[in-house]
Amino acid sequence: MYFPDLYVEERYYGVKAIKIGWLDTGKPYPKWKDGDEIMLADLIIKLEEIGPGVYTKGYHHCPFCNGEKSSTQFQIRLKDGKTFYDAPYMIIHYITHHSYLPPQEFIDAVMKYKKP
């Protein structure tokens, strides 16, 4: 399933999901450069500490190598309580195996996130 980064999905009762890392073949995405490795390693460690939040309705396979699959995703809530970043657990695979660079605002939110 593809969504461009920072796409806002309006949900019920004013809840908003900001989509991050929903990649697919044929769709361009930002790639990290030399020098980004330490920052992204810290991001991955933090994502693994947070752990996935919800299960999806089925498995999501990597569209680029078909080697990884996951049925979970992250939901990183923002301070207003009605907005959250919604990213597939596959985002870790995309960063490490396909050089995906998430938006800086997502990286900042994850690094500041404290599990409830």
Q: Supply the pLDDT for residue 57.
A: 63
pLDDT tens-digit series, residues 51-63: 887 767 677 789 9
pLDDT tens-digit series, residues 7-51: 999 998 999 999 999 999 999 999 999 999 999 999 999 999 998
Structure tokens, 88? 């597939």
Domains of the chain by residue range:
7-112
Q: Which residues pair with 7 in a beta bridge?
A: 19
Q: In 3D, which of 18, 19, 1 has the Cα closest to residue 70?
A: 1
